[in-house]
Amino acid sequence: MTGPLTGIRVIEVGGIGPGPFAGMLLADLGAEVIRVDRPTRGKDLGSHRILFRGRRSITLDLKQERGRGLLADLLSTADALIEGFRPGVMERLGLGPEVLIARNPALVYGRMTGWGQDGPLAMTAGHDINYIAVAGALEPLAGPDLAPKPPLNMLGDFGGGGMLLACGLLAALLHARETGAGQVVDAAVVDGTALLTSMLHGMRAGGDWQAPRGENRLDGGAPYYGVYRAADGGWLAVGAIEPQFYAQLLHGLGLAGEFREVAQNDRSAWPRVRARFAERIAERTRDEWAGVFAGTDACVSPAIAPHEVKDHAHVDARGTFIEDGGLLQPAPAPRFGGTPLTLPGPAPVPGADTRGLLREMGLTDGEIDELIAARTAGPPGTVAGEEQAPVELLGDPGAEVPPSTMR
């Protein structure tokens, strides 16, 4: 891997969702990211086969003191840590920030949770939909029946979570480079999602978001900003906010004369205009309309399904998606003129690099064999069906080494 983060070493303690997304971003940018998996994690990477790309993997059993010691040794050579356990878990394992930063003063200790390290909900479980609900980002998202509609898990987990953690880690790494002092980065999905609502709160303060859900400019209320069904069942995305773009929209739809005397932002006319737009767009297929508006500034785009993205001319021309072994995935981004990025390697089988990494840490083959025999470290492809007992140090049955960073 090459990129602007070449030379940075990040240890990612296994989890799912936003933590691995942050690890993927850093790996894509050239950082060496080493994932620490549980010995009982199997070969099937499931939905995380893209999020885990570009890593090396070592399996360590954190129930065992020797496993925890090996992780501490590994972190003594790292620039940053990513962990997504519930608050207090790493401390009870003897791997809290005070301990690790004392050993490695420049270590950036990244913590990824849903609710954050403190607050009334900090110790409770949650998922994307819960975090964005509390942050005020779900309620404004109106579906066809005006009920709030979950935006998959992209808004909270990845926009408000993993992206925020990556940004925080980079800022702390810059500070550590200048001062030699590491620190904790407390990245919470609820905090990051709240940040994403900054413009919405500005619009509220300015009087631009006062109507009920589904009746505002950007939530489907305005006829010039929404999604319409085409004749073939496909969908057309319309975003003609500026007057000059709206004029081109009307022209392309063949409705310029019909609405010549109707002001674009006459809210009383919006229901009638929206109904007419829907009726008109339903006369042609999605791709026919895409052809009508191609090359214009009407801000009209076909709503492309995930399996179609590679076929879109612009996306294809930019190489926005890549294929590796038949697996379609987003290419690393953004793009750098001086330190271009290389294509990421595939996600490793959990534990695939255990022996190599332990050798780099100075262990002999005999010592490594002993660790594997004791199940302190695992060989690649350990059977997935085995249950891992809770970590005895944690005390309560809901606080085992968690299978999720969504806490």
Tens of pLDDT along the chain (407 residues)?
689 999 999 999 988 899 999 999 999 999 999 999 988 655 556 778 899 999 999 999 999 999 999 999 999 999 999 999 999 999 999 999 999 999 999 999 999 999 999 999 999 999 999 999 999 999 999 887 889 999 999 999 999 999 999 999 999 999 999 999 999 999 999 999 999 999 999 999 999 898 888 899 999 899 999 999 999 999 999 999 999 999 999 999 999 999 999 999 999 999 999 999 999 999 999 999 999 999 999 999 999 999 999 999 999 999 999 998 889 999 999 999 999 999 999 999 999 999 999 999 999 999 999 999 999 998 775 433 333 333 222 222 233 434 333 34
Q: Is 162 within a domain?
A: yes
pLDDT value for 40: 66
Same domain, 159 and 258: no
Same domain, 181 and 86: yes
Same domain, 181 and 282: no
Is 199 exposed, middle or buried, given 0-12, 13-18 or 19+ CB atoms closer than 10 A?
exposed
Work out the angle at residue 144's Cα, subtended by the Cα atoms of residues 139 and 148, and round it to the nearest 5 degrees. 15
Pairing of strands 108-113, 32-37: unpaired
Nearest to 390 by CA among 34, 40, 1: 40
Same domain, 358 and 292: no
Strand partners, 225: 239
Pairing of strands 32-37, 55-59: parallel
Same domain, 177 and 301: no
First to last CA, the chain: 31
What is the DSSP annotation of 95-118?
A: --HHHHHHHSTT-EEEEEESS-SS
Active site (catalytic) residues = 127, 157
334 prior amide bond cis, ω within 30: yes
Q: Is 139 within a domain?
A: yes
Q: Is 202 within a domain?
A: no
Residue with tokens 């199997």: 42
Residue with tokens 């981004």: 333
* 3-class state of residue 398 by DSSP: coil
**Of 324, 344, 370, which closes a domain?**
324
Same domain, 28 and 163: yes
Same domain, 105 and 238: no
**Of 304, 324, 344, which closes a domain?**
324
Same domain, 320 and 344: no
Q: Is 204 within a domain?
A: no
Per the confidence metrics, is the pTM higher than 0.75? yes
Same domain, 145 and 76: yes
Same domain, 288 and 189: no
Burial 41-79 (b: 16+ CB within 10 A, else e): beeebeebebbbbbbbbbbbbbbbeebbebbbebbeebb
Q: Is 255 within a domain?
A: yes
Q: Is 211 within a domain?
A: no
* CATH number for the domain harbouring residue 263: 3.30.1540.10
| Number of domains composing the chain | 2
> Could you list the residue range(s) of the whole structural domain that residue 286 is in?
225-324
What is the DSSP annotation of 296-356?
A: SSS-EEE---GGGGGGSHHHHHHT-EEEETTEEEEPP-S--SSSPPPPPPPPPPTTTTHHH
CA distance 305 to 369: 48
CA distance 296 to 277: 18
**Of 267, 289, 324, which closes a domain?**
324
Same domain, 293 and 145: no
* CATH number for the domain harbouring residue 100: 3.40.50.10540
Nearest to 71 by CA among 12, 22, 16, 112: 12
pLDDT value for 1: 67
pLDDT value for 399: 36
Residue 243: other Cβ atoms inside 10 A: 11
Same domain, 285 and 389: no
Q: Is 216 within a domain?
A: no
pLDDT value for 39: 80
Residues in the chain: 407
Q: How many CA atoms lie within 13 A of 343 on its CB side?
A: 11
